[in-house]
Amino acid sequence: MLRFSLLLAATWASLPARAQLRFGCSQLVTQRLDPLVTPGVISPHVHQIIGGNAFNLTMDTSLDVGSLATCTTCRFKEDKSNYWTAAMYFKHPNGTFFRVPQIPNHFVGETKGGMTVYYVQPGSQKVTAFPRGFRMIVGDPYLRTGVPSDPAKVGSWGLSFRCWDSSDPMGPSNTYPPGAGQYDTVHLPKKKCNGGIRSNILFPSCWDGKSTDSPNHSSHVAYPLGTVNANVGILGFTGTCPSTHPVRVPHVLYETYWDTARFNSMWPTDGSQPLVLSMGDPTGYGQHGDYLFGWEGDSLQRAMDKCRDGSGRPEACTELTVQTDAQINACVQKPLVDEKVEGEYIARLPGCNPLQYGPEPATMVESANCNAGPTLPGSQPTATAPTTTVVTPTPTPTTTVANPQPTAPQGPAIPKYGQCGGNGWTGSTTCVAGSTCIKLNEWYSQCQ
């Protein structure tokens, strides 16, 4: 802790006042599932997932994830949310792929794999915790190019990569604020990073106050307006919310520490960088993150109201229950998708995604029969020979394996925990039998 205090004194002293939670989470599972984008079916590419063990093939907004999960890989026992991103692979010069291991970030304890999660409350603005059923996505897995970032816009720096010169937490490439700075790029670093690479995934922190989700899982949230000070970075950014998305929610940031340095001696002799994201992205522009809220009851709101530690140390938040390393590392999920994705060199990226270099957007890969068909429990293995065909892009990617797509509940009655009112709400206000429409705030009422 002494070094931690020194670090804060040395590097963050000049930042504007803010409160935050910063905590490590171990790996829950790594597999080809994405209950937001491709519910009910195998996802086109691998994700690395952390958080509560209610993570599943489908996760309807009506589920109370906070009470369904029986354990979580995150530091706070109350946080049963799920957080996921693409995985990273090293492409060996001999053409095979090895999943790049994730290692604990600085000062998060002995987590196994996983990520560091932040819930930041910038300045003195009051933040509203996400409602039950809330989810969002940032980034686009099919992107293969980007415009040079405008430091004045926080959204330009939402997705970036930090190239660490060394693993020394006091070194300049570690202490520099994340965002608009000399150590971060919006594409994968093109040089060897001696200390590894950290992905930074910052979600929009302004909400429309109405919808727990939207068709593309993005349009119900927006980034704040205003200019980012490069010396302060995106964490201390305090811009105001646009009128379309007036409700300030926590600024959620994921940091993933990829142990890329272990592969530095095996780089191709032509100097090209050999790291790829699991959707066949060697550029990094397709980096994306998914968030599925699952805090128990009102625990996140209580933490936002009462935990005001500027450096976000978990033990400083007595409102919540801190778990030991042993407890979080004991929460693991067996993959539902039966295929090899890590721990050895594999011949092809899971889902058989070819590397697509852009700059045009990547095309969707029809991966149903890849590797003779990975299976989900209860499905029939496919008899077809392995094939990989590239088809034209579709707005909503879906692969076709196994179980039929579940349909959302029909009829006018809103399911339990669904939205039933609030300013501007035009949908039904009738809740299913056994639940009542409760006003949570002026923007949002929920069936409870």
Out of 3, 165, 345, 400, the only residue in the binding site for ligand NAG (CB under 6 A) is: 345
The answer to the question of residue 398 lying near ligand NAG (CB under 6 A) is: no
Is residue 219 a contact residue for ligand NAG (CB under 6 A)?
yes
Should residue 403 be labelled a site residue for ligand NAG when binding is judged by CB under 6 A?
A: no
Q: How far is the CB of 92 from ligand NAG (least distance, A)?
A: 5
Neighbours of 431 (CB within 10 A): 21
Q: Of 137 and 317, which CB lies nearer to ligand NAG in the complex structure? A: 137
Number of residues that bind ligand NAG (CB under 6 A): 10
Part in contact with ligand NAG (CB under 6 A); list of ranges 156-164, 216-224, 230-238, 364-372:
216-224
Cα first-last separation, the chain: 43
Q: How far is the CB of 359 from ligand NAG (least distance, A)?
A: 18
85 vs 317: CA distance, rounded Å: 27
Per CB under 6 A, the segment of 100-108, 158-166, 215-223, 380-388 that binds ligand NAG is 215-223
Among 11, 96, 167, 185, binds ligand NAG (CB under 6 A): 96
Toward ligand NAG, which CB reaches closer, 193 or 221?
Answer: 221
In the set 92, 262, 308, 348, which binds ligand NAG (CB under 6 A)? 92
By CB under 6 A, residue 145 contacts ligand NAG: no
Residue 54 binds ligand NAG, judged by CB under 6 A: yes
Give CA–CA dist 170/332, Å, rounded.
32
Closest to ligand NAG by CB, 96 or 166: 96
- Please, what is the minimum distance in Å from the beta carbon of residue 52 to ligand NAG? 9
What character string, x for contact with ligand NAG (CB under 6 A) and - otherwise, covers 313-332? --------------------
> How far apart, in whole angstroms, are the C-alpha atoms of residue 428 and residue 343?
49
CA atoms of 277 and 100, how far apart (whole Å): 10
Closest CA to 178 of 118, 249, 262: 118
The stretch near ligand NAG (CB under 6 A) out of 49-57, 71-79, 198-206, 432-440 is 49-57
Closer CB to ligand NAG, 53 or 111, in the complex: 53
Tokens of 194: 């001696």
Q: Tell me how far, at minimum, the Cβ of 31 lies from ligand NAG, in Å.
A: 13
Q: Which is nearer to ligand NAG, 145 or 218 (CB)?
A: 218
State the nearest-atom distance from the C-beta of 216 to ligand NAG, in Å.
4
Q: Which stretch binds ligand NAG (CB under 6 A): 48-56, 185-193, 381-389, 407-415?
A: 48-56
Question: How many other C-beta atoms can be found within 10 angstroms of the C-beta atom of residue 247?
Answer: 19
How many Å apart are CA 211 and CA 418, to the nearest integer?
9
**244 to 205, 207, 225, 309: CA distances (angstroms):** 13, 8, 12, 30
Q: Kindly state whether residue 216 participates in binding ligand NAG, applying the rule CB under 6 A.
A: yes
Min dist CB 148 to ligand NAG, Å, is 19
345 vs 357, beta carbon nearer ligand NAG:
345
Range in contact with ligand NAG (rule: CB under 6 A) among 111-119, 212-220, 281-289, 318-326: 212-220
Q: Which stretch binds ligand NAG (CB under 6 A): 91-99, 234-242, 382-390, 440-448?
A: 91-99
Separation between Cα atoms, residue 128 and residue 116, nearest integer Å: 21
Classify the C-alpha dihedral 60-393-49-121 as positive or negative: negative
Pick from 11, 56, 321, 363: which binds ligand NAG (CB under 6 A)? 56
Q: How far is the CB of 364 from ligand NAG (least distance, A)?
A: 15
Q: Quick one: which of 379, 372, 370, 373 has its CA closest to 404?
A: 379
**Contact residues for ligand NAG, defined by CB under 6 A:** 53-54, 56, 92, 94, 96, 216, 218-219, 345
